[in-house]
Structure 1
């Protein structure tokens, strides 16, 4: 398990309602510490008051909409690197569904929310223990996931696979490329070009493409197409949105281009893929 990013966000006083989301090829933990939010995920809207904790498996598009004047949350992005400690899609859907109309004082919820709250309260980029801060946070994350696993098992869901041996491959990565990747994941539905992304990274276009490919294993355009096609597949299998609407929602300017790329990847048209995977 590798900690890709952790951050806290305070949206109190922000006028705009729609405040975040996207699609990421990584697992994400989202903790609402104050206020009320509506999370749009997997064709459902979860209206939840703090404390609330959501589990977002990779490649599942989501939008967080602020519903109260005071709104604070934290998020963690994880590269699980083969570990099965994070609940799968079925379990995540069940857990997320329990975040609406819940009693946060219910004894089964209390240790989970307390653990999550302490995690973000202890997060301090200026900590004197910065050299081991990530290791300490990973221990807390494993504890949180284990508590959720026990909760789901107690509520009749099939057991989640036991944790595999964790391993880490720490490499120094170009921070500007990583920042661009996160930007693409949060804004995949918007128009963007490689030259624009390269300029935002303050890099020459050809060097940007080579550096991006070294980190992501794909060119920037391939990475963007993967994000959009992953989002489209999720919409096709979990909603009744028309194919044209899905094409528009994930950022393709032409339904014909979308259909061609989709068929290249899945060997069938979007409509036929929906029939086979709904």
Structure 2
């Protein structure tokens, strides 16, 4: 029997102290994300929802759900964790995430039933402290705390639902390791900017690679061309908007970065076999 597990894809902590309201990060990617506001106030635009929350706040973002975080105070510090679930179902689904995220503006960190959840989130941060005497096993401790956090959130939501709680020449053909790093940097760039106009030339320049070499390397690493991967990001975002909002097809086309509703509809039908409007209708029925 295959062992189901999850792995840490990325963890980082960032500070923003200039240009109040400046967009600090977001996009769409095929990985679930834990977003923790540690200091200050931030605004999260997630699918069709808009939250403004003060620290400490904890948001859970299922994969392929568009999101954008912006700073709403003079100083804001936040952390994010991206996970590769590898078949695990322990991350909250979309319905659970709507419920959990919708509570964050009410500052649930002070509720007796949720105190341990936020303490666990802070422990994840503390595991990375240079003063941590167990820093040599920090990654293992972080994964344990993530599992604990997700388990606590799941338990809380279940009880709440039951009503029990309130390029240069040298860069044209770089070595394979550096190429892989650059391709993965471009992937993250695409995930954060999929809704903006992007061309293969622009993406190749982000990787500091020759265009033809970039396309071949991208396909070898990802299994798709850059354009195919970009289309998948946009179509995944469109599916999310179609299934969770009442936005018009034209508005969704614009929101996910397609320049033409006809081109969007054609690509959508190629992948899903029906038009966007018919796909939405079938989901309602």
The two structures have a TM-score, normalised by structure 2, of 0.85
Q: Answer yes or no: is 1:3 the counterpart of 2:8.
A: yes
In the alignment, structure 2 segments of 5+ residues that lack a partner are: 1-5, 163-176
Paired with 2:143 and 2:222, the residues of 1 have a C-alpha distance of: 23
SS at match of 2:17: coil
Q: Answer yes or no: is 1:79 the counterpart of 2:72.
A: no
Paired with 1:183 and 1:126, the residues of 2 have a C-alpha distance of: 33
CA deviations on 1:182-235 (whole Å, 9 max, x unpaired) are: 110000011111222122212233332233223322211111000001111111
How many residues in Structure 1 have an aligned counterpart in Structure 2?
265
- Out of 192, 198, 208, the residue aligned to residue 192 of structure 1 is 198
Equivalent residue runs for 1:112-261 within 5 Å = 112-123=117-128, 132-156=137-161, 174-261=180-267
Hey, which of these two has a bigger chunk of helix by percent?
A: 2
Paired with 1:129 and 1:112, the residues of 2 have a C-alpha distance of: 21
Cα distance, 1:210–1:130 mapped onto 2, change above 3 Å: farther
Is the 2:194–2:233 Cα contact (8 Å) retained in structure 1?
Answer: yes
- Between structure 1 and structure 2, the one with the greater Rg is 2
The two structures have a TM-score, normalised by structure 1, of 0.87
What is the root-mean-square deviation in Å for CA atoms of aligned residues?
Answer: 2.3
Cα distance, 1:175–1:136 mapped onto 2, change above 3 Å: farther
Is the 2:53–2:105 Cα contact (8 Å) retained in structure 1?
Answer: yes
Higher relative contact order (CA 8 A, sep 6+): 1
Structure 1 residue 108: Cα displacement: 1.4
Equivalent residue runs for 1:20-169 within 5 Å = 20-123=25-128, 132-156=137-161
Cα distance, 1:129–1:204 mapped onto 2, change above 3 Å: farther
Structure 1 residue 128: Cα displacement: 9.1
SS at match of 2:209: coil
Structure 1 residue 267: Cα displacement: 1.2
